[in-house]
Amino acid sequence: MTPLTVIKIGGNVIDNPAALSQFLTAFAKLPGAKILVHGGGKIATQVAEKLGVQTTMIEGRRITDQPMLDVVTMVYGGLVNKQIVAKLQTLEVNAIGLTGADAGTVLAQKRPVTAIDYGFVGDIIDVDSGRIQAMLMQGLTPVYAPLTYDQTGSLLNTNADTMASTIAVDMTQRNAVTLVYCFEKKGVLTDPDDNDSVIAELTPKLYAEYKAAGTINKGMIPKLDNAFAALQNGVAKVIICHADEVGAAVSQQGAGTVLSQ
């Protein structure tokens, strides 16, 4: 099967122009077919404040009412996405900026209201891997903003980690997929204040132990839940690493945290 690398970039890298530029330069040098999924939450919060739109977060997740949906559509699908695409073009990567609505590639449904009403937040129900594969075969590099759409025609704010893992899993029908989560840390850490305390390899058993001890907590938990789910559903390899080390991680030079079953 054809090798394919799916990379999610987020954290403080997106809102740091120098760090983002350095990452994109490394991303451009990665061999073979690749897909990029990006976040941009901090920029969305800044823009919302300038526009007088209130930001509400519950357990690290953004409540997306109609005004906030307008903001994230502008920021994720417009500002951030097109800046990344333009930079990649200068690096000789023929990038195409997308949301899940484009070519109908990532369909979702509005998250049901339970104890919390998240508003216009999408849970993915289908990925058209054939259409994404067609783009790759044309030499294009898809760059996805974390936006999906539903069958009523509404755009939906969607977790970028989940979007990356779901796309990666669906692409395993045609490819040997490596999924990489890049951010400002060197990997999964035993001490969040020590960027050198990297856990080199993480299994489900170790993950459960670290969670129980509180060593792994907060925002790292949903990221790892997505990562292990991807492994269990056909993704060949999952790596969590610093954005600066993406090249070394993909080429198996010991960077970051490698997840195994």
Query: Would the annotation count 159 as a binding residue?
Result: no
Q: Is 131 annotated as a binding residue?
A: no
Query: What whole-number distance in Å separates Cα of residue 91 and Cα of residue 28?
Result: 6
The answer to whether 62 is annotated as binding is yes
Q: What share of the chain is helix, strand, coil (3-state, %, to 5)?
A: 40, 25, 35
Q: What is the distance between the alpha carbons of residues 152 and 63, in angstroms, rounded to a whole number?
A: 20
**Residue 191 neighbours by CB under 8 Å, 6+ apart:** 197
* Residue 40 is labelled as binding a ligand: yes
Which segments within the chain are labelled E, that is strand?
2-9, 33-38, 57-58, 61-62, 95-98, 106-110, 122-127, 141-144, 147-149, 155-157, 175-183, 201-202, 237-242, 257-259
What is the β-pairing status of strands 106-110 and 122-127?
Answer: antiparallel
Binding site listing:
40-41, 62, 157
Binding site listing for substrate:
40-41, 62, 157
